[in-house]
């Protein structure tokens, strides 16, 4: 049987009829209640003077996070989904005079629907026109820059004060956690080398990426002078499958110099 809420008026009328001499069976039949309920109402009335028991004075801890504080936290994650709990903890302590632990803050955010998930990073500098130009450059083997090993020289002063890259953030359930970030391209260098079983025979370092023209100049000016005619040692040049390595002009130059 499902519990139903009985109003205080019905309880008072039932007790009045009982005090007037009505039998408990008739009262229970009229109001569709059990005899145990009738005896419990009379005990409560005799103790407190009312048919409804007053609320207990023993209560749990007062809720720390008010609606205003929760709305402020949601606004923070709306503008920056990558905010960490310790940063939010300091913000609430300074601006809302709220001292709350990390665990309690985590539980509060989960109950509010702000779940932790992978960040979707969006570049501020993203330009669709430039991206189309880059795609066209990648498809052209004569201008594609992508050979050798590329290293990045990072300026320590340009690092994020928190971390270089945050992987997780918070957002409402059902919505992605997006993080708009300024991606700064630092100084980049490409290291290209030709080596034999005896060690390196030629190397070149260029700023940025090496294109087909730079690679052609590297082979002609640095590598070929260190090679010998076939079948002597260092007479065969082996290249990988990078598209800028295999050009008709480079093959003609190698054949003219007796290199395979």
Q: What would the pLDDT profile of 7-66 be if each residue is shown by its tens digit?
A: 888 899 899 999 999 998 989 998 888 899 989 999 999 988 888 888 776 666 656 678
The residue ranking higher by pLDDT, 161 or 3, is 3
Q: Which of 116, 105, 106 is nearest to 167 (CA)?
A: 116
Q: Is 8 helix (H, G, I), strand (E, B) or coil?
A: helix
pLDDT digits (tens, 9 = 90+) for 153-176: 334 444 445 555 678 888 888 888
- The mean pLDDT of 171-185, rounded to a whole number, is 77
Domain assignments of the chain as residue spans, ordered by start: 8-48, 67-112, 128-181, 187-256
Q: Is 212 helix (H, G, I), strand (E, B) or coil?
A: helix
Which residues are within 8 A (CB) of 195 and not within 5 positions of it... i.e. 6 or more apart? Answer: 201
The dihedral over CA atoms of 157, 158, 164, 166, expressed in degrees to the nearest 10, equals 130
Cβ(192)–Cβ(210) below 8 Å: yes
- The mean pLDDT of 139-145, rounded to a whole number, is 43
Q: Give the integer Cα–Cα distance in Å for 257 and 132.
A: 40
Cβ(226)–Cβ(201) below 8 Å: yes
Residue 18 tokens read as 């009982």
pLDDT digits (tens, 9 = 90+) for 74-121: 888 888 888 888 999 898 889 888 888 898 888 888 888 888 888 887
Residue 58 to residues 45, 54, 209: CA-CA distances in angstroms? 21, 12, 71
Beta bridge mates, 180: 122
Q: If pLDDT is split at 50, 70 and 90, which confidence band does 127 have? A: low
pLDDT digits (tens, 9 = 90+) for 191-247: 888 888 888 888 898 888 888 888 888 888 888 888 887 778 877 888 877 877 877
Q: Which of 229, 235, 154 is nearest to 189 (CA)?
A: 154
């Amino acid at each position: 049987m499902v519990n139903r809420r009985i109003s205080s008026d019905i309880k008072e009328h039932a007790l009045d009829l009982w005090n007037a001499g009505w039998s408990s069976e008739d009262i229970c039949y009229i109001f569709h209640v059990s005899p145990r309920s009738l005896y419990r109402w009379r005990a409560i009335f005799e103790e407190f003077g009312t048919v409804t028991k007053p609320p207990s004075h023993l209560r749990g801890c007062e809720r720390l996070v008010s609606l205003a504080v929760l709305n402020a936290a949601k606004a923070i994650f709306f503008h920056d989904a990558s905010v960490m709990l310790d940063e939010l903890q300091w913000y609430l302590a300074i601006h809302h005079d709220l001292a709350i632990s990390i665990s309690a803050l985590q539980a509060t955010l989960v109950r509010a629907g702000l779940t932790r998930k992978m960040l979707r990073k969006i570049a501020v500098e993203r330009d669709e026109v430039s991206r189309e130009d880059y795609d066209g450059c990648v498809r052209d083997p004569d201008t594609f820059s992508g050979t050798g090993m590329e290293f990045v020289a990072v300026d320590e002063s340009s690092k994020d004060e928190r971390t270089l890259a945050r992987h997780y953030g918070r957002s409402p359930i059902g919505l992605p956690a997006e993080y708009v970030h300024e991606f700064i391209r630092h100084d980049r260098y490409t290291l290209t080398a030709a080596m034999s079983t005896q060690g390196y025979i030629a190397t070149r370092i260029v700023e940025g990426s090496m294109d087909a023209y730079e690679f052609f100049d590297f082979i002609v000016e640095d590598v070929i002078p260190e090679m010998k005619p076939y079948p002597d040692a260092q007479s065969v040049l082996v290249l990988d499958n990078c598209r800028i390595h295999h050009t008709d002009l480079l093959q003609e130059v190698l054949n003219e110099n007796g290199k395979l």
